[in-house]
């Protein structure tokens, strides 16, 4: 029987990893992630999860250990944040290019300096070219569910998955979460059985020298795997919803059917945006939300379909992309991706870009409404607008 409990986001992760019968966990503590592995170490110590818990001396080693475990055929997990993820950078390529279906939980924390422990997506978005799948979560329920789905997805497409959510706003916030029964999870997620693994009795060489004769082909094969990931996620989510009655997609449209303007969100800011949109709708504003769950692979077709096919082709005039991140010299990262995705589409809406909530600056319904007022009252997008900036 599933049960409902009041859980912090970090423990939703721990229980998701436990329910997935993860076999190897290697991690190094870093705020705001630490509670994830603290709880997992307790779970392992109690004997409630038959996993090898490896304490390591750095995040670089944590990723190295999970790669090795994955190559040996184990279901492997690690968690980190911010500078910890940055320290893994080199090995993130080894995991993805080596086609290791590892699951990593990254709790979004701003990059330093200014030394900060608060939420900001720049840490994970900066890893966009490492070949990892990236999934962003809005609620603690999404965190737990996507943790379980991440293993199934990873093992289906042989790529590592990063499940991402905001520091404190989810990681340290308690809210009701339904925890599925492990027997049901077992039916959804069978044991990991890789086609090839490190085994002295049947030896293979992994990740050897790759000459110019073959390197491009490896990249092409992996790019096809990424493209296939979008459908694979939908299949995994469909199976999940059949068993657990909760639906997930690559993106989600909220109040979009008759909207003239869409606010594009990711992560926990979507919740507060729901509140703002509800208030705006009461005032007669035709505004909706496009919540993006997947960043890599980028859901280009799904986004075009969603925006182009509303209410039988109803055209969205403008979209406002809300970026809790920055690529200095380049602007908001989601915004750039979306502009690229919609380029050349004949009915493409005008794309307005906003920075907000950087380094954990509180996002309130008024923050969202300020962005909405700006997009509504301007005909053409110019430079990226900073909401709530002190001057």
Partner 1 sequence: MIEIRFHGRGGQGAVIGGKILATAIFYEGKFVQAFPTFGVERRGAPVAAFVRVDDDRINLRSQIYEPDHLIILDPTLIKNPATFQGFKKQGWVLINTKYTPEKFSEIPGLENVKIATVDASGIAVRNKLGSPSSPIVNTSILGAFCRVTKICSIDSICKAIKKGVPIKPDANLAAAKEAYEEVIFKSVEELPPTDGEAENLSNATSN
340 contributes a contact to partner 1 by CB under 8 A: no
With binding defined as CB under 8 A, does residue 168 bind partner 1?
A: yes
Q: For the chain, give the secondary structure using H, E and C.
A: CCEEEEEEHHHHHHHHHHHCCCCEEEECCCCCCHHHHHHHHHHHHHCCCCCEEEECCCHHHHHHHHHHHHHCCCCEEEEECHHHHHHHHHHHHHHHHCCCCCEEEEEECCCCCCCCCCCCCHHHHCCHHHCCEEEECCCHHHHHHHHHHHHHHHHHHCCCEEEEEECCCCCCCEEEEEECCHHHHHHHCCCCCCCCCCCCCCCCCCCCCCCCCCHHHHHHHHHHHHHHHHHHHHHHHHHHHHHHCCCCCCEEEECCCCCCEEEEECCCHHHHHHHHHHHHHHCCCCEEEEEECEEECCCHHHHHHHHHCECCCECCCEEEEEECCCECCCECHHHHHHHHHHCCCCCCCEEEEEECCHHHCCCCHHHHHHHHHHHHHCCCCCCCEECCCCC
Site string for partner 1, 61-100 (x = CB under 8 A): ----------------------------------------
Token pair for 301: 């077709």
Q: Give me the least distance between CB of 216 and partner 1, in Å please.
A: 45
Rule CB under 8 A: say whether 288 interacts with partner 1. no
158 binds partner 1 (CB under 8 A): no
117/234 with CB nearer partner 1 = 117
- Letters for 3-42 (x = contact with partner 1 by CB under 8 A, - = none) are --xx-x----------------------x-----------
Site for partner 1 in 104-123 (CB under 8 A): 117-118
Distance CA 354, CA 375 (A): 10
* Interface region with partner 1, contact rule CB under 8 A, candidates 2-10, 20-28, 245-253, 328-336: 2-10
Output the smallest distance, CB 175 to partner 1, in A.
5
Told to check if 272 binds partner 1 by CB under 8 A, we report yes
Cβ at position 142, least distance to partner 1 in Å: 13
Among 274, 296, 369, 376, binds partner 1 (CB under 8 A): 274
Q: Residues touching partner 1: how many (CB under 8 A)?
A: 25
Among 98, 364, 370, 388, binds partner 1 (CB under 8 A): 364
CB of 274 to partner 1, least distance (A): 4
Q: Select from 41, 83, 158, 173 the one that contacts partner 1 (CB under 8 A).
A: 173
45 makes contact with partner 1 (CB under 8 A): no
Nearest distance in Å: CB 315, partner 1: 28
CB of 233 to partner 1, least distance (A): 24
Q: Which residues bind partner 1 (CB under 8 A)?
A: 5-6, 8, 31, 117-118, 167-169, 172-176, 268-269, 271-272, 274-275, 360, 362-365
């Amino acid at each position: 029987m599933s049960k409902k409990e009041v859980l912090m986001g970090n423990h939703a992760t721990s229980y998701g990893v436990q329910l997935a019968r993860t076999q190897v966990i290697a991690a190094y503590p870093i705020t705001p992630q630490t509670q994830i592995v603290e709880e997992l170490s307790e779970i392992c110590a109690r004997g409630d999860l038959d996993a090898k818990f490896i304490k390591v001396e750095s995040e670089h080693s944590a990723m190295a250990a999970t790669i090795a475990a994955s190559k040996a055929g184990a279901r492997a997990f690690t968690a980190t944040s911010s500078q910890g993820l940055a320290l893994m950078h080199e090995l993130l390529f080894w995991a993805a290019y080596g086609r290791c279906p590892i699951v990593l939980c990254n709790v979004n924390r701003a990059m330093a300096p200014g030394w900060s422990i608060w939420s900001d997506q720049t840490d994970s978005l900066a890893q966009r070219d490492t070949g990892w799948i990236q999934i962003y979560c809005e609620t603690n329920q999404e965190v737990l569910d996507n943790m379980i789905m991440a293993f199934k997805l990873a093992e289906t497409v042989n790529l590592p998955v990063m499940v991402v959510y905001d520091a404190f706003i989810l990681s340290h916030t308690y809210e009701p979460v339904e925890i599925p029964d492990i027997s049901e999870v077992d039916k959804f997620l069978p044991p990991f059985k890789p086609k090839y693994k490190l085994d002295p009795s049947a030896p293979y060489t992994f990740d050897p020298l790759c000459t110019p004769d073959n390197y491009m082909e490896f990249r092409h094969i992996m790019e096809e795997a990424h493209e296939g990931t979008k459908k694979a996620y939908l299949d995994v989510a469909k199976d999940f919803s059949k068993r657990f009655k909760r639906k997930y997609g690559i993106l989600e449209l909220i109040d979009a059917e008759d909207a003239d303007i869409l606010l594009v969100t990711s992560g926990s800011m979507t919740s507060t945006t729901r509140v703002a949109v509800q208030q705006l709708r009461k005032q007669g504003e035709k505004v909706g939300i496009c919540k993006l769950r997947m960043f890599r692979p980028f859901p280009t077709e799904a986004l075009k379909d969603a925006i182009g096919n509303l209410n039988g082709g109803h055209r969205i005039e403008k979209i406002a992309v809300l970026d809790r991140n920055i690529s200095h010299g380049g602007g908001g990262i989601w915004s750039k991706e979306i502009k690229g995705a919609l380029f050349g589409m004949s009915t493409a809406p005008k794309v307005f870009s906003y920075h907000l909530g950087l380094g954990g600056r509180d996002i309130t319904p008024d923050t969202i409404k300020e962005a909405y007022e700006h997009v509504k009252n301007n005909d053409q997008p110019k430079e990226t607008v900073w909401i709530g900036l002190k001057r």
